[in-house]
Amino acid sequence: MSKKRVVIIGAGVSGLTTAILLLKQEKGYHVTIVAKHFPGELSDEYTSPWAGANWRGFASITDKRLQEFEKKTLIHFFELAKTKPAETGIMIVDSFDYWDEHKEDFIEPWFSNFCPGYRHLQKEELPDNVEFGITYKTVTINPTIYLGFLLNTFLALGGNIERKEFSHIQDAILTDTDIVINCTGIHSRTLGGVQDANVYAARGQIVIVELPPTHVTWTFLRYPRGSNEGIFKGPVTYVIPRNNGEVVLGGTYVENDYTTVPDPVIAESIIKRCLTTRPDLLPVGQKELKIKRHSVGLRPVRKDGIRIETEWINSSLGRGKRVLVCHNYGHGGYGYQSSYGAALHLIEVMKKSLNSNKARISKL
Ligand code: FAD
């Protein structure tokens, strides 16, 4: 039987992960990634290189689908951190989640029973003006290294790449195309044939500093008063170390703000907030942090969460040609930490649609 020809639009963490899993787990697919931007490039239109990035369970207690995606991805990342740390840029660290106010009726987060070392922090372990906290093992990801690893893995598996920008999903369909997978992130808002008005940006500004490589072995996120489960009532403060001595200081989460120039006033406030929370960020004897660069990225948020859905469309090439379009976009601030689980699920939904000839909506 001839192979099904798949075009994946997008070479961010979503497109690359989906492409690898298709080639690794399934037989009978010929996969080409077509994108405007690829790993190694920086652009305001390409979110993945600008991420922190780490794994921190944000899914609400009721969002079982996202929990499943994040759980599968964390298990995969732990494995990569143990077997290929330098190649993937993934490392295991201690995570600290801090809340400014006391949590009288704290509901244990959904990940408390599978993140190693999960426990509540003792009072003496809390930073000044922090009233509650938890700790557990997690991973941090160096986006540049990880995206390069994904691209190399895809090519080694026999995948093809092509640089092109599409204005309409129909443009991705050639006479021999059977399936198109849409992983265009924030561009799903404007891409013809998709134009999802539920997609919008959440601006994130970060400061990247350089510290002695083993100085920071932890990551933290401080929830402003009144926040929970990834809903932030004010500026989010976080620190994410990378495997190359770079440490990311964050941050901001501003919805519908498309400004991509770093704001120096915000940068100053980020540094101040991080140092106030964890003064031990600064090595003993060092007077100030060595700033490497400032950056801004636009998180591809979607009102109803990640869209994993399929639809059969009639090709504009005519002759009764029908093509299965699969969507995997709208990963907001959790695109890395949900990438593996979301891609696995997309492939399941895609296969069901191929078998039944009906389009599917994501259900776990
Ligand atoms: P993108 O990376 O934007 O990729 C889209 C791809 O589609 C690109 O290749 C682009 O060229 C291509 N494309 C788009 N339109 C077209 C077109 N018309 N024609 C051809 N090609 C097209 N996530 C985490 O899990 N953990 C974190 O700690 C974390 N921290 C973050 C911190 C910041 C400051 C920011 C900004 C984001 C963070 N994220 C984090 C979120 C994460 O970065 C995103 O969810 C993720 O990168 C989205 O990836 P994507 O592949 O869906 O989209």
According to the annotation, is 299 in a ligand binding site?
yes
Q: Looking at the CA of residue 164, tell me the nearest atom of ligand 1.
A: 20
Task: Give me the residue label for tokens 């960020």.
Answer: 281
pLDDT in tens, 81-126: 999 999 999 999 999 999 998 877 888 999 999 999 999 999 999 9
* Residue 319, pLDDT above cutoff 80: no
Higher confidence at residue 73 or residue 317?
A: 73
Give the pLDDT confidence score for residue 229 in this predicted structure. 62
Can you tell me the mean pLDDT for 274-290?
A: 95
Can you tell me the mean pLDDT for 6-22?
A: 98
* Residue 359, pLDDT above cutoff 70: no
pLDDT in tens, 33-48: 999 999 999 999 999 9
Mean pLDDT (the chain) is 93
Regarding the beta carbon of 11 and ligand 1, being less than 6 Å apart is answered yes
Distance in angstroms (rounded) separating the CA atoms of residues 207 and 150: 25
Give the pLDDT confidence score for residue 175 in this predicted structure. 87
Can you tell me the mean pLDDT for 300-317?
A: 94
pLDDT in tens, 221-274: 998 876 666 666 678 899 999 999 999 999 999 999 999 999 999 999 999 999
pLDDT in tens, 118-153: 999 999 999 999 999 999 999 999 999 999 999 999
* Residue 362, pLDDT above cutoff 60: no
Q: Looking at the CA of residue 46, tell me the nearest atom of ligand 1.
A: 3
pTM of the model as a whole: 0.96
Residues 6 or more apart in contact with residue 310 via CB below 8 angstroms? 324, 325, 326, 327, 349, 350, 353, 359, 360
Mutate to test the pocket of ligand 1, among 14, 173, 337 (most ligand atoms within 8 A of CB): 14
Give the pLDDT confidence score for residue 227 in this predicted structure. 66
